[in-house]
Structure 1
Amino acid sequence: MGAQVTKQVDRRKAISVEKKTLYSLHESSGTDFPGSTYSPADRKKWMAGLGPEKMHINKIVWPGTHDSATNKIGIPGITRPFAQCQSLSIYQQLVRGTRVIDVRVQEDRKVCHGVLLTYGIDVVIKDVKKFLSETESEIIILEIRTEFGHDDPPEFEKYLEGELGEFLIHQDDHVFGKTISELLPKRIICVWKPRKSPQAKAGSPFWSSGYLKDNWIDTDLPSTKFESNIKHLGEQQPVTSRKFFYRVENTVTPQADNPILCVKPVTNRIHNYHRLFIAQCFSRGIADRLQIFSTDFIEEDFVDACVGLTYARVEGNT
């Protein structure tokens, strides 16, 4: 018992030190970067606002959400706080400016986060289609994966193609060098990551797992996650040289051996440092690697930061 108490005390000290480390970096370095003062006139249509004919797919800084379809997961006030990473519906996130959606499913096509369940994938599809019907030039990256420990939904590709086929941008390395206007009226890059089923191949309506990569680490320590993100991003090629999307997640994760297990208070340790991260990418000479930037509980300022940097790239100011 004494050893456990000591361990908890040490962990609380480590968290406190790391929070102070990020705060000090924020105070000493600032958060200015090219495009940092830009704010889109309409977040729902920010890609249209920047000019689809000027925006190459590989130069967009894509605002994304982590565990996107968890707004109604679990039981309210009981299990939901342990698994909820977003408070908005998929449609509301897209309207706010999100352009990368991260969805996990199990065999019966229910969306899940670990052992907790929420609505079916049909709710996600309905929200996506509603958003697409209200816009003309917004491209979405829709990542769907089979959750760890679960089996793939049967005939899932057939189901997705039946629902989204008219919007799907087929797997093709040439897409990265194209502009949005060159891909329209197709609107969705759907990355399907099954656990046991075969991976999608070139020319398929779906993109295989190798086209959306990240280096996720399981930690609730904010400075550790921040520096890990910087390190792994720095190991990537510039966006103009890659034929895959690379994601950085501005999140930290509750740990089973820590008294604080609810997502929101834990992820808040890093949540407000998205502008600091982008500014540090410039300071450390790796801003040309940044591409997908995801977060929990996405807010307008996070979207504005990503759109601002995209604007700077489009205008040649980076």
Structure 2
Amino acid sequence: MTLATSQDFGGDAEAVVDVDIDADFARSVIAGLSVPQKQLEPKWLYDALGAKLFEAICEVDTYYPTRMEMQVLANRADEIAASLGDNLILVEPGSGEGVKVRLLLDALGERVAVYVPVDIAADQLIFLGQTISAAYPEILVAPVVADFTGAFTMPSDLPDGPRVLFFPGSTVGNFDPQTAQELLARLRVESRAEALLIGVDSCKDANRLVAAYDDPVGVTAAFDKNILNRINRELGGTFDLSAFHHEARVVPEKSRVEMHLVSDREQTVEVAGVPFAFAKGETIHTESSHKYAPEEFRALAAGAGWRGEAVWSDTDGLFSLHLLRAD
């Protein structure tokens, strides 16, 4: 673990740098391509280009989650803010571009003392730290460059105050239920948060899910295939992107939609000098997005030590935002 000065991040406090991305990426990719159902961890989708492509996905008409969550935050921001208290330390795992947190910060106003964004993408975190510091000069910004899916270190010199985890975007849905429960339990312990405000995508029909995760414009396909570009660039991969296509698959029995990259022919690809054979039609599972009815998610969160306090939804019940308290 190394430290970076706040000047590097445009913030006011030292930022903890707690991840070796290159080594972790290589280990993860080789391990994932070595199992019978080839897979890649979804966190690797979000390099600089991947993050920009995901922003574009959020603008596609058929991709509802971001739009619905923003609607809930905008419509219920004052009510949500009143539920959180004062002198807050707001911690956001997987902060990304920080679009949604601005709605919350605007509603909270002087109630926020410190904002701790946590993200694996250092360049994106630098920009976020700069923009939040400029827009909200009264807030101490203390970024952490880390992979929140593993153990990470919170800044050691934070002031006293109630800690709130802000975990929007239905990111929790990228994990299977057991792993999601373990993640929520670990985040509670590591952040020492008293409250959790989390976005959760609701169950819905298969046609709507496929349209959201395999849009007709092809932005999601470009986002998914970009991980192969990243492997080629950073790990000496030999993927031919034209030999793979993106596919969204709804798995009703697991209440989730899966993203796959499908091999269009028999081929062998090398990554860091290691060969991987593909049969025609064989897939790489790149991401899952689990969907929960509000009561199902509250039960999952309870197993991680979080007690449901309030839930807000959009007018069509497509997406829910939960406020939970640590037991």
The structure with higher relative contact order (CA 8 Å, sep 6+) is 1
Higher strand share: 2
- TM tier, smaller: 0.3 to 0.5
